């Protein structure tokens, strides 16, 4: 039996269940570590290094800045490479860079510059990992199981958002804030072990089983009929620019992806401006101790579990597109509760705001992630994802910086009010776009987009 003939049996047999479970366990562990670090890093800056509001906002921005710096070329590179080795390399780099933080702290040489560099390097690894991971999942589970797989993975991420802040608070209270960063490094190690144990290999472009060869390692045919070994340095650079343009043109020319990208960018500015100073708000405005900060953020994050559990039911009852709009319309006004109180009442209202917003956002993320994985052409997926993410995630450092600057000038509470209002206004992008009359997301791009793509590849 040939490798190509064996592929369907491999895809539908028990190994897929085992391999998805390994991916799920590894990523759940890694997401838990990242959720711990999401609280631990600002706590290290605020408690250990006595950093101000702007420095904390800058730290948040640094983690997402790589999407602006390398997001677009990363998409083209990931499309050329086997996805699992890319994911392994990224997790290994992240493990090393975050392990350096507690080592520096225990040696008495930790600085704010070290934290910023660690955040940037970890952010670069995250760019490549996320692009490879989203393209890898459909090859592991198949199109028919994507919604269920995304639901399970997003549910795990939501569970991590619940457990992570609480664990970060406990670790900070008992062993110091840097212990949470060490936990993050160890979680990346678990993810590496799980990825290495996966047996299924990706399908090559020729349809046979096994991971594709690395770019430049042979004369594998390209879609334009040339061979990978035929390019010189200048030609390779021109080819890279052309591949990046393919992804950008597809997103700009597609009405659904274009609308979602603009909305996500505006929403991420608001959400990150809000979240980048929430630890400062809880500790300094509401007087919460590190353990209380962890508990409040954990309870707020529990809304994501509810959203993950309800995403499939929402899609079945209302449709995927209409369900997405309903989730976002519910989440946005909930943020207005966050800065509404003070003292104990403030902690309660902040928790309620995070719970409600998290439920709506997580459910909508599941629906849009599944839509993109089904909708986008496989050979362009990395470049399309990079094009949308460069704007979506590239807006996050802007939101982080904006939150830090406004926190210093108009106050932390006033900044949170403003960011909540921006999030509410971003819903108008969806209401004015092509999704409003739809019950379900489309499964294929419009014919005119496919025609333009065909002409470019001829």
Residue 217 lies in a domain: no
Task: Please report which confidence band the pLDDT of residue 232 belongs to, taking 50, 70 and 90 as the band edges.
Answer: very low
Residue 22 lies in a domain: yes
pLDDT in tens, 238-286: 676 776 777 788 888 888 999 998 999 899 899 988 888 888 888 888 8
> What residues are paired with 221 via a beta bridge?
227
> What per-residue confidence (pLDDT) applies to 188?
92
Domain CATH for 411: 1.20.1250.20
In a 10 Å sphere around its CB, with 0-12 CB exposed, 13-18 middle and 19+ buried, how is residue 209 labelled?
middle
> What per-residue confidence (pLDDT) applies to 193?
92
- Pick the more confident residue, 137 or 195: 195
Place of tokens 């509401």: 286
> What per-residue confidence (pLDDT) applies to 201?
67
H helix and E strand count, the chain: 19, 0
pTM, two decimals, is 0.64
Residue 187 lies in a domain: yes
Residue 355 lies in a domain: yes
In the predicted model, is pLDDT for residue 445 greater than 70? yes
Residue 29 lies in a domain: yes
**Mean pLDDT throughout 417-443?**
91
Task: Please report which confidence band the pLDDT of residue 374 belongs to, taking 50, 70 and 90 as the band edges.
Answer: confident
Q: Is 11 helix (H, G, I), strand (E, B) or coil?
A: helix
Question: What's the mean per-residue pLDDT of the chain?
Answer: 78
In the predicted model, is pLDDT for residue 218 greater than 60? no
Q: Which residue, 208, 213, 211, is CA-closest to 2?
A: 208
> What residues are paired with 227 via a beta bridge?
221
> What per-residue confidence (pLDDT) applies to 7?
34
Residue 70 lies in a domain: yes
Residue 226 lies in a domain: no
Segments forming the whole domain that contains residue 166: 9-207+238-457
> What per-residue confidence (pLDDT) applies to 417?
92
Can you spell out the DSSP letters for 122-148?
HHHHHHHHHHHHHHHHHHHH-GGGHHH
CB 321 within 8 A of CB 264: no
Residue 245 lies in a domain: yes
CB 339 within 8 A of CB 420: yes
In the predicted model, is pLDDT for residue 453 greater than 60? no
Q: Is 227 helix (H, G, I), strand (E, B) or coil?
A: strand
Number of domains in the chain: 1
pLDDT in tens, 308-326: 888 889 999 999 999 999 9
């Amino acid at each position: 039996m040939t490798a190509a003939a064996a592929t369907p049996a491999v895809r539908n047999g028990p190994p897929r269940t085992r391999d998805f479970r390994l991916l799920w366990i590894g990523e759940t562990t890694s997401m838990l570590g990242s959720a711990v670090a999401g609280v631990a890093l600002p706590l290290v800056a605020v408690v250990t290094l006595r950093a101000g509001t702007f420095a904390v906002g800058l730290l948040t921005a640094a983690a997402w800045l790589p999407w602006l710096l390398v997001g677009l070329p990363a998409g083209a590179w990931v499309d050329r490479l086997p996805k699992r080795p890319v994911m392994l390399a990224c997790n290994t780099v992240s493990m090393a860079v975050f392990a350096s933080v507690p080592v520096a702290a225990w040696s008495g040489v930790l600085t704010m510059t070290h934290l910023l560099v660690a955040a940037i390097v970890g952010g670069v690894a995250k760019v490549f990992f996320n692009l490879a991971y989203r393209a890898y999942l459909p090859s592991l589970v198949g199109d028919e199981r994507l919604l269920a797989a995304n639901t399970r993975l997003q549910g795990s991420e939501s569970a991590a958002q619940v457990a992570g802040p609480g664990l970060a608070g406990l670790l900070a209270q008992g062993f110091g804030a840097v212990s949470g960063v060490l936990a993050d490094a160890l979680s990346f190690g678990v993810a590496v072990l799980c990825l290495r144990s996966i047996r299924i290999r990706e399908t090559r472009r020729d349809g046979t089983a096994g991971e594709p060869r690395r770019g430049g390692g042979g004369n594998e045919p390209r879609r334009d009929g040339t061979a990978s070994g035929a390019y010189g340095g200048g030609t390779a650079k021109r080819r890279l620019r052309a591949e990046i343009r393919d992804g950008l043109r597809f997103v700009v020319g597609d009405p659904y992806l274009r609308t979602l990208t603009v909305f996500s960018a505006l929403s991420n500015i608001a959400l990150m401006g809000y979240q980048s100073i929430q630890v400062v708000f809880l500790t300094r405005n509401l007087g919460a101790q590190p353990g209380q900060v962890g508990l409040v953020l954990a309870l707020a994050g529990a809304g994501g579990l509810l959203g993950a559990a309800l995403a499939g039911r929402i899609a079945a009852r209302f449709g995927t597109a209409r369900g997405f709009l309903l989730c976002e319309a519910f989440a946005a006004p909930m943020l207005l509760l966050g800065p509404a109180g003070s003292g104990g009442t403030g902690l309660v209202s902040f928790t309620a705001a995070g719970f409600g917003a998290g439920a709506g956002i997580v459910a909508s993320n599941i629906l849009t992630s599944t839509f993109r994985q089904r909708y986008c052409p496989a050979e362009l997926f990395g470049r399309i994802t990079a094009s949308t993410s460069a704007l979506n995630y590239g807006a996050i450092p802007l939101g982080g910086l904006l939150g830090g600057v406004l926190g210093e000038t108009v106050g932390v509470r006033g900044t949170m009010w403003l960011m909540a209002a921006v999030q509410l206004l971003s819903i108008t992008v969806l209401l004015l776009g092509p999704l409003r009359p739809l019950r379900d997301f489309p499964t294929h791009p419009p014919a005119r987009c496919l025609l333009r793509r065909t002409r470019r590849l001829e």
